[in-house]
Amino acid sequence: PAPRTVLLTGAAGGLGTLMRELLPAYGYELRLLDLLPVEGEPAAITADLADKEALREAVRGVDAIIHLAGISLEAPFEKILRANIEGTYNLYEAARQEGVPRIVFASSNHAVGFTPRPRGDDPLIPVDTPHRPDTFYGLSKSFGEDLAQFYWDKHGLETVSVRIGSCFPEPTSVRMLSVWMSPADGARLLHAALTAKDVGHTVVYGSSANTRLWWDLSSARALGYAPQDDSEPYAEKLIAEQGELDPGNEAHACLGGHFVSDPPIWPY
Ligand code: NAI
Ligand code: 15L
């Protein structure tokens, strides 16, 4: 049967807020969880991913989990370790113990952020390109993908790992013309990831069908995802304001954009 009750972790965050608005139209009943209270949602579970008992209770009885909770930008390693690495492990372990069959994991383009971006007629970046994390943050997403593979191979718990580009209401940079995922396409992709049959562990890129796309969306399309949006209508204005991506600029050379060239955040 198609999943109906879905736990959404990270429900108070930017993406969580967008998906809370869009996913119910697909027929899901969302159970919400976040470290912070979720505005206007008194029934939301307020819990830390470090709280194993709270996670057991939160996942009990759901058909699937959309795992968005965690630190969403670069941060000192100890913080990433606790929230993203241990936190994601804790969630998978709770899901295994409670028999939840599928997780949709919010991975990130920063798991492969040091991959040079295609230029000219270069081929699109395939989904099986090696992990090249650009930050401790990206490293935690590479870990999450490996964790997902392990829980599938060892325990038969399915995951779709979505290497999200930039999911915001509008693209706000020239790089985003290539990596943007409209919120509506984000909901389409999550719905496909929840309902496709026999996904095992499938890795997909998460973006709209952008004219300036850098990566291959075929594994996402194979789940039934049919993106409807393209960032191109925003191109003229953004390029007039910011200029074309400069191939000599390190922050423009790779998929991860400025995450590649930003100075480390201390303490390292
Ligand atoms: P966000 O930072 O707005 O939201 C993350 C949420 O997780 C916050 O509400 C925060 O309170 C919660 N959280 C953090 N640590 C937690 C913990 N220990 N226990 C429980 N909850 C905790 O981030 P955003 O943009 O909504 O992203 C959601 C997910 O998608 C993140 O995992 C992020 O890495 C991933 N992602 C998002 C992209 C985007 O374009 N928005 C791009 C690529 C990946
Ligand atoms: C991410 O992984 C971040 O969570 C998000 O805030 C954006 O920075 C996005 O990547 C991006 O690459 O634009």
How confident is the model at residue 268, as a pLDDT?
A: 80
**Mean of the per-residue pLDDT values of the chain:** 98
Q: Which residue's C-alpha comes closest to atom 35 of ligand 1?
A: 106
**198: enclosing H helix or E strand:** none
Residue 166 CB less than 6 A away from ligand 2: yes
Other CB atoms within 10 A of residue 240 CB? 8
How confident is the model at residue 16, as a pLDDT?
A: 98
234 is catalytic: no
List CB contacts of 8: < 8 A, sequence separation 6 or more. Answer: 16, 19, 20, 23, 30, 31, 32, 33, 65, 66, 68
How confident is the model at residue 91, as a pLDDT?
A: 99
Residue 256 CB less than 6 A away from ligand 1: no
225 CA to middle of ligand 2, Å? Answer: 21
How confident is the model at residue 197, as a pLDDT?
A: 98
How confident is the model at residue 247, as a pLDDT?
A: 86
Selecting among 28, 92, 137, 225, the annotated active-site residue is 137
Domains along the chain with CATH numbers? 5-261 (3.40.50.720)
How confident is the model at residue 70, as a pLDDT?
A: 98
Residue 70 CB less than 6 A away from ligand 1: yes
Residue 69 CB less than 6 A away from ligand 1: yes
Report the complex ipTM. Answer: 0.99
How confident is the model at residue 134, as a pLDDT?
A: 98
**Alpha helix (H) residue ranges in the chain:** 14-22, 52-59, 77-80, 87-98, 136-155, 176-179, 183-195, 218-222, 235-242, 258-261
Name residues of the chain where pLDDT drops below 70: none
Q: Which residue's C-alpha comes closest to atom 11 of ligand 2?
A: 166
